[in-house]
Chains A and B, each alone.
Chain A
Amino acid sequence: MLNETELIDGCIKNNRAAQQVLYNSYCRKMMVVCLRYAKGIDEAEDILQEGFIKVFHAIKNFRKEAKLETWITRIMVNTALNAQRKKMYLYPMVDVEDLHLPEQEISLSGIHFKQLLELIQSLPQGCQIVFNLFAIEGYSHKEIAELLGISEGTSKSQFARAKSLLQQKLLKESTYYERYGEGRI
């Protein structure tokens, strides 16, 4: 079994076997990342494919200062953002009104990540991206604003809207479970 350094060296030399091992090691985790930014499986797979091609082309620049997984995730996110930017050109992100939903405790413990994915995918385009970047990747609103070329206020309002929508949907889901149990899943 190759260790990470050997794997990276093999990929740098364009060794197909090493590239395949690297892909097999990270493709499942990265698929989830892509699914969070996409609207469906096909779109996610396109992002995954493009992302891994970038990984193999750019791996010679990997400095080994960060974890390989973190580096690959960053490439996937950037690839996803590039794909979404094209859509954002058609549907520019603007400040949105807060839905003013009542603050309510929501537990995610009983919810499978696939359900959560579906909920995130159902968010409007701009909300989905900002939500992913802010809540899961850990970017600040300032960084998001720079990344997407929007104002910080827009990023904040988009996140607030995303959060409200998710809370609303999660509330519906939890009510549904309470009423009908988890057999639906």
Chain B
Amino acid sequence: MSSLRSITLATLTKDIRLEWRSKDAINSMLFFSLLVVVIFSFSFDPNAEESRQIAGGLIWVAFLFAAVVALNQTWARELRNQVLDAYRVSPAPANALFMAKVLGNFILVSLLEALMAPLFMIFYNLRALGPAWQLIPVALLGTWALVVNGTFFAAMSLRTRSREIMLPLLLFPISIPAVQSMVEATRIILTGDGAARFWIVLLLTYDVVFTTACLALFETVLQAE
């Protein structure tokens, strides 16, 4: 157990340090989601009263697309210099590597959301009419849902041709219930129309089910070569 934690921590710090020095992923994600926000505000009138209704969808679609940018880079780094092959033959547990990657992406996407959410609020003139604190569990659980499956499918699409295209093709169909829960919960909180509890529970269920499945099957995917 302690080796699992120390390997996870070591890989995580390495990834964060690399990201801190290059800032490749976070910069491209930030700019990408900024572009999405601007394009959305041309497509849908942000001043309309209905913007509160659709804002949840817009926010999460923007984050979903931006997250794919980061997720695609997750494993590409390890392919250079055959790091992944080295990892495969080492006795380190596969799940430690997986957890490190998931946590790294989670931190990255959460940071993106923390930076972009205020901008959304300003552009769309939003103010939560429901309990605003519930947005935090929705954001955390939703981000985890995207990132845990995204990291897993990114590892799967490593073995395919045109892997950058492959990741969204695999990730989006599976993520439909999670995206729907995030969007609905956000919409309910923003409009103050009903209770978001069901959606938060559904998100939690989604997270538990797929985190378990990922941890159970990651070794198979990592060794598949």
Same complex for A and B? Answer: no
